[in-house]
A and B are shown apart, each in its own frame.
Chain A
């Protein structure tokens, strides 16, 4: 993984010192709140409902076990002993004191981490396929490009004050595990007909109050030109994006207004001026960065070890866990093991300091000391020998982290909602738990199969409700929390935006509504048809009838 060199280390330390000075000036009154706010945001510090919240970047979702222990230490020393993993490969600490923030940034710098550009109107933390370098279906390791783009975009002087925030995601797998279709720019590594590697560029995706699936801007940009191409896109957005209305400031609105063809033409004209110039990375520098991501030295291992087969036969819980959480690896004798941060009573994506340390131990004991953070708010231990899976499962269970929820109805994505967030209209976390409890039967969850439930506490859609099979949006209805249900959204391949099925529900009604939707699906699906396939085949009329009229019988008849 990428290790800071002296330049990187000095850069991050200087930035922390600069923020310490800014905090001191704010506390002395030399900076007003209006002057200070953009400075603290560009260092990831929000003022939330109960305290300051610090959002720390986990670049392309990769952590060493030492870094995760470092984060646990910060949670314990400066916060309330836990952290929240987000959909964009960050970790958030909810109880930060402004006066401690500079010390925390100093501490982060000691283990090569920071919170730069995790907020503010700038290019945010670049996210990536969490299986990068370990996936069975990727063209090449996208982390190299995520790191290159991170270095290019960090404190880029031209793009420090964009019209609005800007999010980039990269995926190199046949399966899109980074939700590239819902980013301002989505990058897919692809091969040209001539077998050259490059990027398919998507633009203008996003959620919020104007959800859009990204559209294709370029079908192939050779990878050596990616920085100049991105710079051209950013220049068009920076110059033409709206600054008069915060709700119309994202690039998706500009692409809508210009039309994708005119936008692409403007980008290409700009690109023509800077292509082959100083922006594109010299081959030597590319190789220097790529060397940090050399694959680990993995010994040959059996794809069907006896120990694994026996454990699967004798322990149904383990067998289920392997089926759900054991993801394929590029080497047949290895797996990537999802450690689920979803369980009864646990806010989705939350982990205590001791759990973070336990996860670090799992990575050291059963993997290569590396941890990945996922879009679904879970973590992954990559590069686990398949014959080590029983021991990994045993140790994960001991730490209370043995849930086999990956991809199931219980693998709920949720924003912090009104329990923590200043912007939220409704709570997400108690509802996530109610739904989890309703489906708290592993066999029933397995019978339902792959199904994504996402909850957002407001229209800003941090819980990605638009991109879920079943999306839940919290709204304020005359001062009372209500929830709208959307159906048919999808991240990944063939990304789609869910559609609202009708009037909203009170919180206590929602689990039963989800139950009705699931009962209807189970009664009407053909064979092992997935929920998404069922909706694509039959539409939502049957579900609506079941939810708002009298149930499954009508849906089955429709």
Chain B
């Protein structure tokens, strides 16, 4: 078995989140915990529980020592936005997704 990270989107706003070492969810990729075989069991329980309490959706595991950890997809998700600059509005910016639970 390999080390894994757990990630999902928040159900209410779709924001990308990661599971931390304290088994809480964070929007900051740097707070994502790497779970070895032992810890992964409890982490999977939290993923199931978070689905059950309607907090997360589209959860999956990222194999940290596999190729997924450095894939462009995961880098873009961790960056919380596109790699290009969208057109800028001339007025004040609108609301941003709220921060984690």
Contacts and interface: CB of A to CB of B under 8 A. Distances in A.
A479 B67 contact: yes
B14 A81 contact: no
Nearest to B56: A33
User: Which one of B15, B83, B84, B85 has the greatest number of beta carbons of chain A within 10 Å?
Assistant: B84
Q: Is the interface of B mostly helix, strand, loop or mixed?
A: loop
B86 A347 contact: yes
A121 to B, nearest CB: 20
Interface string B63-92: 000011011110011001111111111110
A97 B97 CA distance: 7
A361 interface: no
Interface string B8-40: 010111111000000000000000000000000
Contact of A481 (B72, B80, B95): B72
Interface centre among A419, A429, A433 (most CB of B within 10 A): A419
18 contacts: A26-B11, A26-B54, A27-B12, A29-B52, A33-B57, A77-B95, A80-B93, A96-B14, A98-B13, A99-B13, A350-B87, A351-B87, A418-B72, A419-B82, A424-B73, A478-B67, A479-B70, A481-B72
A272 interface: no
Contacts of A313: none
Interface size for chain B: under 10, 10 to 19, 20 to 34, or 35 or more residues?
35 or more
A352 B87 contact: yes
A237 interface: no
A346 B85 CA distance: 8
Contact of A355 (B14, B80, B87): B87
A232 interface: no
Interface string A44-56: 0001111110000
B48 interface: no
Contacts of B85: 345
Interface of B: 9, 11-16, 52-54, 57-58, 67-68, 70-73, 76-77, 80-91, 93-97
A252 B52 CA distance: 40
Contacts of B77: 49-50
Nearest to B93: A81
- The 4 A-B residue pairs whose C-beta atoms are closest, nearest first, are A419-B82, A81-B89, A51-B14, A97-B13
B14 to A, nearest CB: 4
A39 to B, nearest CB: 14
Interface in A53-108: 75-82, 95-99
Nearest to B84: A429
A151 B15 CA distance: 35
B54 A76 contact: no
A47 B56 CA distance: 12
Contacts of A480: 72
Interface in A331-368: 345-347, 350-355
Task: Name A's interface SS.
Answer: mixed
Given A96-B14, A97-B13, A347-B82, 19 more contacts: A26-B11, A27-B12, A27-B54, A28-B54, A48-B14, A76-B94, A77-B95, A81-B89, A350-B86, A352-B88, A352-B89, A354-B89, A354-B91, A419-B83, A420-B82, A426-B72, A479-B68, A480-B72, A481-B72
A385 interface: no
Given A50-B77, A80-B86, A430-B84, A97 B14 contact: yes
Contacts of B89: 76, 81-82, 352-354
B62 to A, nearest CB: 13
Nearest to B73: A418
A97 B13 CA distance: 4
A31 B16 CA distance: 22
A82 to B, nearest CB: 5
A35 to B, nearest CB: 13
Contact of B16 (A50, A79, A354, A478): A50
A81 B76 CA distance: 20
Contacts of B91: 76, 81, 353-354
Given A51-B15, A78-B95, A418-B73, A429 B82 contact: yes
B90 A352 contact: yes
B54 to A, nearest CB: 5
A260 to B, nearest CB: 40
Interface string A266-293: 0000000000000000000000000000
Contact of B15 (A50, A350, A426): A50
B96 to A, nearest CB: 8
B76 A27 contact: no
A164 interface: no
Nearest to A422: B58
Contacts of B57: 33, 47
A466 interface: no
Contact of B72 (A27, A52, A354, A427): A427
